[in-house]
Chain A
């Protein structure tokens, strides 16, 4: 069993839909990162969470430390949101990465 599990692996949705990507982990962590990897390979850090909820524009990330679960939500999705979204948990500076969720938003 992987230490970080993401679901779904692939997600295709229509523009405007509300998107949820889930991440469950089985190890102790000091923080959880949500990252976005574009087709060109570049990685952008979206959020770093250690508790609660964060919001940035149309993106919302939540974490439940007791349940070892985090979610990334995208409201009013747009084709430019199409990318791979990666959950990574951190213990000190060691990062354990999920396999990623490939999101495609169709116009």
Chain B
């Protein structure tokens, strides 16, 4: 059973380009979370999705950022017109069940390092 798969591992973009980050949750997991780790900082929650639904996007910047988790295929975090401040490691986690309660275990991907030139 493969773990949470993120790709690409490293992504380099020039200012103004679009970045697409992919996350395939573990088999059987229908809940996906995206986190961003800025240099010298801890991870910050961005968005929580279930299949075809955005449950909570309170941590997502209001502009240029969007996320989806379609019925088929991976979850996509999309950043339009990237700026240098978007350079960070983006981590995805999945869980097999609904939020809340002590039994929800998160499984993390290895992350995508986005570098904006």
Let me know if B100 and A99 touch, CB within 8 A. no
> Is B101 interfacial (CB 8 A cutoff)?
yes
Partner of A95, one of B45, B102, B107, B110: B45
Let me know if B108 and A44 touch, CB within 8 A. yes
Which B-chain residue is minimally distant from A86 (CB atoms)?
Answer: B42
The residues of B that contact A41 with a CB separation of less than 8 Å are 89, 110-111, 113
Question: How big is chain B's contact interface, by range?
Answer: 20 to 34
Let me know if B108 and A93 touch, CB within 8 A. no
Let me know if A42 and B43 touch, CB within 8 A. no
Interface size on A, residues (CB 8 A): 25
* Interface set of A (CB-CB < 8 Å, partner B): 30-31, 33, 35, 40-45, 48, 50-51, 86, 88, 90, 92-100
Q: List 29 A-B contacts (CB under 8 A).
A: A30-B101, A30-B102, A30-B104, A31-B104, A33-B106, A40-B110, A41-B89, A41-B111, A42-B110, A43-B108, A43-B110, A43-B111, A45-B105, A45-B106, A48-B105, A48-B106, A51-B102, A88-B42, A90-B104, A92-B100, A93-B33, A93-B45, A93-B56, A93-B99, A93-B100, A93-B104, A95-B35, A95-B43, A98-B42
